Amino acid sequence: MKKLSLLLVAILAMGVSSAFAQTYNIDPGHTYPSFEADHLGLSFWRGKFTKTSGKVVLDKAAANGGTLEITIDANSIDFGHAKMNENARGKDMFNAEKFPTITYKSSALKFEGDKLVAVEGDMTLLGVTKAMPLKINHFKCMMHPMLKREVCGADASARFDRSDYGLSYGVPRFAPEVKLQIQVEAVRAD
């Protein structure tokens, strides 16, 4: 009887927790993962990906705080320079024909009160999956004045070594460290 009571309490707790979970769909028109990388020590090339999709589930009552899943179209890379875009899509860099997507999947969202402050998760790039924690520099949810729906937005950042994912083009002439910045907005799914 005691085991049955504990099981019932666990099931009820899961039900209460999921009752507070809210799902948000990534707004591709307001979400742009961008990055900067060394160019021969002379300057930093900055680029972004213009096509993203995914969803966020916020559940502050759950131990892991919810989930985040983002898919980036590798062909949407944009440096603002056509020849560089073409080179980056090729086999030496993002190999977008063989690996058309870059994904990020969270394992935990970390909150301080109502404020999202970090995401633990994995990025898959060129078929290689590695842990990549994201620092959340800004987070806010509000009723959008035009959409008349709740929208959450964030600014996230991370640093990683691209050669860990097999993107070793130009190393060591080009330093392998990449600074990642992500602006994201997501609209509550009703």
Q: Domain residues of the chain, as ranges?
A: 22-188
**pLDDT (0 to 100) of residue 15:** 38
Q: Parallel, antiparallel, or unpaired for β 150-161 and 134-143?
A: antiparallel
Paired tokens of 120: 């633990």
Q: Is-contact 14 7, C-beta < 8 A?
A: no
Half-sphere exposure of residue 160: CA atoms within 13 angstroms, side-chain side: 23
Element (H, E) at 88: helix 82-89
pLDDT averaged per 10 residues, the chain (length 190): 40 46 95 92 93 93 89 97 95 96 96 91 98 96 94 96 94 92 94
- Predicted structure pTM score: 0.85
Paired tokens of 63: 């131990």
Give me the CATH topology for the region 22-188: Lipocalin (2.40.128)
**pLDDT (0 to 100) of residue 7:** 37
Where do we find the tokens 């392998």? 176
CA distance 132 to 118: 11
**pLDDT (0 to 100) of residue 19:** 57
CA distance 73 to 88: 13
